Amino acid sequence: MQDFEDFVALRSQALLRTAYLLCGGDKSAAEDILQDVLMGMYGKWRRIRTSPEAYARAALANAAANRWRRRSRKPEAPMEHAETPLAGGHEQQVVDADSVVRALAQLPSRMRVVLVLRYFDDLTEADTARALGCGVGTVKSQTSRGLARLRELMGEQVLTWS
Amino acid sequence: MELKSAMEAATADLDVRPGFVGDVMAGGRRRHTRRLVALTAAVALLAGVTTGVVLTDSSSVPAVAADARLTATTEGDLSGDRAFISEAQALWGRSKSAGLRPYDNVTEFTGPSNVFWAANTPSGPAALLAQAVRVGDDPSPRVLVGLVAGGGVVQRELDRGQESGLYRFGPDSSTYLALGLGGKVFWSVNPVRGPDNRLSRTWREAETGPGGVAVVTARQSERPVFVRADNPPLPQDFGSEPLRGRFAWRPDTAFVPHPGLGWSGRQCASDSPVEGPGWPAEKAPSPRGDLHQRGLLDYVVDWDATGEWSVCAWLPDGRYAEVFEAFGELYGALYEPSGSFSAPLLGGKAVKGTPVVVPLPDGQGTIVADFDGRIGPQERIHAWLAPAGTKDVMVRHGDVSSVVPLS
């Protein structure tokens, strides 16, 4: 299992960053789901060792979506910064890093997952669809609607997508 | 600000907590064991029910770890130096966490330490010790083996089923202790690349002295590799499993800089074909393994021997390319749409601060990569597959642009 340990040691930081965005900026939750996903990979390593990163990202995306589903069933307080006002208008020319996370936290989970996989992890539409077990058309529509929603939340002047 | 840049900025300071890797390993093992136990119990119960056999407890669980090194007489030319042996034991006992990784989770040192080897080496006197320990809530004792040299504990290795038995120390990390562990250890330095680009290595046996310990001197720049085998590997056989002591592993601390060019992640120089036959391939590409098996990439032993980045590209003729960094040089491989290996790529030196340029064969263009840079006429970020015939490429970082010649 040396190569699994190497994978965990080498890629945990990058995967944690993905998990953090998927969890809408909740670092504890990001560490929890990452640890859970990696622990689950231990027993499956022989089967998935040829493409562990793709497996991990797909599992993280699904774990984050499930987490949100569980949260939505409970009458739970929103995340501490989810309702914080975002960019202060066109006069604000610089987007502070946290505002992206705050905006992501306000998106529906599947929409957020699609944006993170597409724009942070640079997955193609096809790879994103494969990771989430949905069609490319769904990825396209979620991407389009997600970007539009982010624009509403953050202000078109301060965020571009290219 | 771009969405990706904003996301990267929001996560730039994130790293896993110290000990995270160990928690994953320990938790993964526990979960896997529980699953196996549950499965075994279910099978056994089913077997008992169907055959009428009554299951009884086994009473043959060993009470202590049976490792001769826990009680062996000290070997080596310092075996009679009681002062040195006592000092080694004192150092070992004083700094119990030294040389261990946080997730080794040693909770108890259950017996006295034993110096089973003590000798003079090119880097001064050194001692190897063994001690029984308990790990987490595991009821069975384990054996902890380690090296004391230079006035402290250099390294400890917990028995986790496959002991490397390789230690490195000294002012320039050039002294190796290789434990025979009942077999032979072979070592090799300075791989030679032949005219066909294939590497070869000359192997020699590490001569073990008293206590089954071999002392070997090799500079890191010579790329020493150790294997445990019955016979020496053939010069062009790169299929052996190298020994990797603790020194070869990535430090388990936060914010370890990325090695080599300092990049991280996988970026693509061209878009994947959304439709069309043959991709994704049935077999995932493994360029490092494929090049190593063919003797084109040397043994990667130390964690920082390779970069943490790769660049992929789908080529005009349907093939797929992947480029990465190892030993300060650029390597890559081409794959057929089926996933089968097509051809190797050897791209020359990787120079920090300079874009990576890897020409592809068969008129497939040139991969140009510079993470966070904007490349080519479309200003593609990170990497771009320049079409065949492109003479030069513009690379922009913020307001600073430079022209990179491709020929």
pLDDT digits (tens, 9 = 90+) for A86-141: 333 333 333 456 788 888 888 888 889 999 998 888 888 888 888 887 888 888 99
- H/E element, B193: strand B192-193
Residues B200, B322 within the same domain: no
Tokens of B267: 């970026």
CB atoms within 10 A of CB B97: 11
B393 and B268 assigned to the same domain: yes
B53 belongs to a structural domain: no
**Band of pLDDT at residue B8, cut at 50, 70 and 90:** confident
Ramachandran sector of residue B350 (left: φ over 0; alpha: ψ -120 to 50; beta: rest): beta
* Average pLDDT over chain A, rounded to an integer: 75
From B192, B222, B248, the end of a domain falls on B248
Asked if residue B233 is part of any domain, the answer here is yes
Residues B233 and B273 placed together within one structural domain of the fold: no
Segment holding B242, helix H or strand E: none
In a shared domain, residues B210 and B292: no
Q: What is the mean pLDDT of residues B369-374?
A: 94
Lowest mean pLDDT among A37-51, B164-178, B196-210, B263-277: B263-277
B268 interaction partners in chain A (CB closer than 8 Å): 122, 124
Q: Which one is predicted more confidently, B64 or B115?
A: B115
Query: To which residue do tokens 């720049």 refer?
Result: B221
Q: What is the ipTM of this complex?
A: 0.82
Which domain, by its residues, includes B269? 264-405
Give the CA count within 13 Å in the CB-facing half-sphere of A92.
16
Tell me if B249 and A6 make a contact (CB, 8 A cut-off).
yes
Name the B residues in 24-53 with CB < 8 Å from any A CB: 24-25, 27-29, 31-32, 35
At residue B253, the pLDDT reads: 65
Say whether both B122 and B232 belong to one domain: yes
pLDDT in tens, B265-306: 778 899 877 554 444 455 557 788 889 999 999 999 888 898
Asked whether residue B390 is assigned to any structural domain, the reply reads: yes
Confidence of residue B48 (pLDDT cuts 50, 70, 90): low
Rounded to whole angstroms, the Cα distance separating B103 from B27 reads 10
What integer pLDDT is reported at residue A122 of this predicted model? 84
Are B169 and B296 part of one and the same domain? no
Which domains does chain A carry? 2-158 (1.20.140.160)
Inside any domain, residue B349? yes
Between residues A151 and B185, the one the model is more confident about = B185
Flag whether B88 is in a domain.
yes
Q: Rounded to an integer, what distance in angstroms lies between the CA atom of residue A150 and that of residue A160?
A: 10
Of B11, B24, B286, Cβ closest to residue A39:
B24
Query: Are B126 and B196 in the same domain?
Result: yes
Q: Is residue B113 domain-resident? A: yes
- Give B2 or B196, the one with higher predicted confidence: B196
Short-list B137, B348, B142, B154, CA closest to B245: B154
Average confidence score pLDDT of chain B: 85
User: Do B329 and B377 lie in a common domain?
Assistant: yes
pLDDT at B360: 96
B143: in domain: yes
> Given B193, B215, B248, which residue is the final one in a domain?
B248
Indicate whether B360 and B221 sit together in one domain.
no
Most confident of the ranges A25-34, B63-72, B209-218, B284-293? B209-218
Whether residue A76 has pLDDT greater than 50: no
List beta partners, residue B128: B117, B147
* Residue B209 shares a structural domain with residue B337: no
Residue B407 to residue B393: CA distance in whole angstroms: 11
Confirm or reject contact between A95 and chain B (CB < 8 A). yes
Which residue type does A128 have?
T
- Residue B52 domain flag: no
The tens digit of pLDDT for each residue in B389-405 reads: 999 999 999 999 999 99
Report, as an integer, the average pLDDT of A63-92. 44
Residue B42, pLDDT > 80, answer no
What's the structural domain count of chain B? 2
Answer yes or no: do B252 and A9 touch at CB < 8 A.
yes
Question: Where among B248, B283, B307 does a domain terminate?
Answer: B248
- Shortest CA distance to B166 belongs to which of B75, B301, B305, B76? B301
Q: Are residues B305 and B189 in the same domain?
A: no
Given CB atoms, is A32 within the 8 Å cutoff of chain B?
Answer: no
- Tokens at B322, concatenated: 């992947």
Interchain contact, A27 vs B16, CB within 8 Å: no
User: pLDDT tens, A126-150?
Assistant: 888 888 878 888 889 999 898 888 8
**B399 and B274 fall within a common domain:** yes
pLDDT reported for residue B99: 75
Burial (CB < 10 A; 0-12, 13-18, 19+), residue B18, is: middle
